[in-house]
Structure 1
Amino acid sequence: MSTRQHAAGRPSHSTAGFVLTIIAIAAAMAASTVSSPFYPQIQGALGLGVVEITVVFAVYPAGLLVTLLVVGSLSDHLGRRAVTSVGLLMLAVSLGLFGWGDSLGALLSARILQGIATALVMSTVSTHMAELAPPALAGRVALANSAGPAAGLAVGALFGGVMLDLASHARTLTFGVVVVVIVIIAALSRLLPETTARMRGLVPSLIPRLRVPHEAAAALLRVTPAIIASWGTGGLFISLGALIARDVFGTQNHTLQGATVGTLAASAMVATIIFWRWSSRALLAIGALALVVGTLTSVAAVLTASTMLYFAMIIVIGVGFGISYAGALRLVLPLVAREDRAGLFSVIYVIAYLSFSVPAVIAGSLISVFGLAPVLIGYGVLVSAAALAALLAQLSGAGRAQGDPEPSRVVS
């Protein structure tokens, strides 16, 4: 028997709502990278070590992962609009704490709260997006869930860097602007159509569980190396990109420091859009190859201190980041029914953010022992190994999805 209080009616499709959910996801991701150019400045102002500043970065995905495990299906019980708006308002509060925080404790609190808020927003809005998409846009759901976050990552990092170079009181002003934007999106989200009938069993749903629908389990396992490689690369550049630009290449320009993240994310977004019509297997294979080539060549750029080569390889790595993840989503999303998407997205985000955070924390801890360049080399080799495993899986034919549906046939 269904646990829903009322039979779920036909989803309320809305083009405007679909666009707003993309904006909400992009804004949440922008909020996660706008702080990246500020890390060296905050580190100096508060007298923090590399390990401490890396922990400030890492508690964000830690809060995000715990929240996904506990309340990943919260919107099934409270409604998509309510969870989205609360998550966005919590995100605004966390950004305020970060913008005005003047101690390690304040920064850690801000980042933990940001992780919790982002988990609520991402897991809920991703599902809401799929339910709001009109039939003509149903095949663009996975594309939006790939390109939207990449666009937000790029805008956030570049905005933070530009503000640091041009504005006085840059930190306060930057986070003030982002807070206002997030609050406006939260208000607009209350106008979206509700697309799910509320379910009973809220308290039991809070018991941590990870469940992949049987029909998607094998496909998700096959694409996991690609998710690890792509998000592991993203974690490196978002946590340490500004520090690499400053300490390896001697760049004091904050916009250029922010561009290390912005370039990677922007190239990921553009590549995702350009190659979207390709099969998921092709996306995964080409993306994995780009990660291998780009990461290993970027190691050479670090060894030779070649700024031009380094930024060229960031573009290549960004292509790999974007289309690997897009290919993974393209392969697994069509395999599950609409009511199973929230849980599947939570599992995908758990894999992604573990890959995003754990290697970056380890790298940050090792920098004080071995130095920045050796750690970057080791990190690059490990990421390349994961990408190579993903590439071999596709070349061997193991990554072929059942039917490998075209984008226009993605279930909505």
Structure 2
Amino acid sequence: MSIQPADVRPSHSTTGFILTIVAIALAMAASTASSPFYPQIQDALHLDIVQITLVFAVYPAGLLATLLVAGSLCDHLGRRPVAFAGLLMLAVSLALFAWGDSLGILLVARILQGIATALVVATVSTYMAELAPPALAGHVALANAAGPAAGLAIGAVFGGIMLDLASPALTPTFSVMIVLIVVIAALVWLLPEVALRRPGVVGSLLPRLRVPRAAAPTLLRVTPAIIASWGTGGLFISLGAHIAAEVFEAQSHTLQGATVGILAASATAATIALWRWSSRTLLIIGALALAAGTLASIVAVLTASALGYFAIIVVIGVGFGLSYAGSLRLVLPHVAREDRAGLFSVIYVIAYLSFSVPAVIAGALISLIGLIPAIIGYGVLVSAFALVALVALLVQRPGAARAQDAPEPSRVVG
């Protein structure tokens, strides 16, 4: 039996839809705002490359653990309270990071940020779909692809600019973000609750991953593309500033942050500009751009061509954005409304494992074999997954491809 709170009312809200996009973009911006600060934090706290990579990596670890045990929490407690609690927890984690003065505090802050981000993205992604008015229902997958990418770009560039303008910059940068997050949390609390609460909240905390049967074949097919795209994001967010500083001797923090900013901005632009193309076309272009761009970036690193490297990041960003957007476009139409939260949790688990595990391995390898060989190995791995995704798409029978791509974005279930 479903338990419906008194204030639940089926509601479509353009304002709410936009607010949820802002909320998820802000959560992702918070995850990259720290990226330009990693070299500075490493020097200030006398950390080695493995330790600073660990600070990056415990964030997705906390996020993944939360998705496993609480990915469907909003199905039982409601969208609004879980989103509100996640945003407030995110603000607390940023405060710990900004004022932390030891490796232990930074690790706690990043774990807490991962937990908070998981609650926000899993809940808000679902909330967004339910608040979208009929005229905007076809843009839910677009918003879920472009919103996070835009947030990644804004956070990294904002952090870099603040580093160049202010000294010290960490506290004012995160103070601004904390205020914005608290304001968004207050506005989210004013949104209508649109979900039926279900009993069994304690049982829902048992670790599980569940993919609706109708979506499973499609999700399996696009998984290599998700791995390649988010693996690329992990490389740039964890090591982008180091690459710019050490390989290309870029002293500007804004330029160091731009490695992430350019990647995410081009991903956002490509996703929006090409959204009306078929999902299969988006994935093919995305996989090609990821494979070719990543291999070209290795050449740029080996030749120390800064201009070529930053230009290639645009191509890689296009691949990042289109691969993930095309994947969402193919999967979402096969999922009923009540299964969305669980599916988004599974997608984010795949994404963040791809985002974190290779980055941690690369951080460990850097201390053993050096930065450039580790980057080459990482790039080859990403390119391999992109090519697997491309081959899987090209060998698919035309009839099957049309059948999978048949549901237009405007007919997303629910």
* TM superposition score normalised by structure 2: 0.97
How much does 1:194 deviate? 0.5
**How do 1:271-282 and structure 2 match up within 5 A?**
271-282=270-281
What CA distance in whole angstroms lies between the structure 2 residues aligned with 1:198 and 1:5? Answer: 5
Distance 1:274 1:405 in 2: 20
Match of 2:404 among 399, 402, 405: 402
Assess if the C-alpha contact under 8 Å between 1:143 and 1:273 holds in 2: yes
Matched with 2:30 is 31
Deviations, residues 72-110 of structure 1 (Å, cap 9, x unaligned): 111111111100010000000000000111100010000
- The aligned counterpart of 2:335 is 336
Equivalent residue number for residue 163 of structure 2: 164
Deviation at 1:396, TM superposition (A): 1.3
Name the CA shift for 1:7/1:188 in 2 (closer, same or farther; >3 Å).
closer
Other structure's SS at 1:215 match: coil
Residues in 1 aligned to 2:114 and 2:378: alpha-carbon distance in whole angstroms: 24
Structure 2 equivalent of residue 222 of structure 1: 221
Name the aligned partner's letter for residue 26 of structure 1. Answer: A
Q: Secondary structure at the match of 1:200?
A: coil
1:10 CA displacement: 7.0
Asked if 1:5 is matched to 2:7, the reply is no
For residues 241 and 221 of structure 1, the distance between their equivalents in structure 2, rounded to whole angstroms, comes to 30
The alignment-based identity, stated in percent, is 75
Q: Distance in 2 between matches of 1:56 and 1:390?
A: 31
Equivalent residues in 2 for 1:6-405 (5 A)? 6=4, 11-397=10-396, 400=401, 402-405=404-407
Q: CA deviation at 1:403?
A: 4.6
Deviation at 1:402, TM superposition (A): 2.6
The letter of the residue matching 1:120 is L
Secondary structure in 2 aligned to 1:55? helix
SS at the partner of 2:202? helix
Deviation at 1:11, TM superposition (A): 3.0
**Can you give the 5+ residue segments of structure 2 that lack an aligned partner in the other structure?**
none
Deviation at 1:393, TM superposition (A): 1.0
Q: Which amino acid aligns with 1:407?
A: P
| Per-residue Cα deviation, 1:48-75 (whole angstroms, up to 9, x for no partner) | 0000000000000000000000011111
Q: In the alignment, is the contact (CA less than 8 A) between 1:231 and 1:353 conserved in 2?
A: yes
Q: How far apart, CA to CA, are the structure 1 residues paired with 2:411 and 2:337? A: 14
Q: Tell me the equivalent position of 1:411.
A: 413
Q: Read off the aligned partner of 2:248 and give its amino acid letter.
A: F
**1:222-272 superposed Cα distances (whole Å, 9 cap, x missing partner):** 000000000000000000000000000011100000000000000000000
**C-alpha distance in structure 1 between counterparts of 2:308 and 2:31, whole Å:** 27
User: For residues 284 and 10 of structure 1, do their structure 2 counterparts lie closer, same or farther at Cα, with a shift above 3 Å needed?
Assistant: farther
Give the paired residue count: 410
Task: Please give the TM-score of this superposition, normalised by the length of structure 1.
Answer: 0.98
Which AA in structure 1 matches 2:260? V
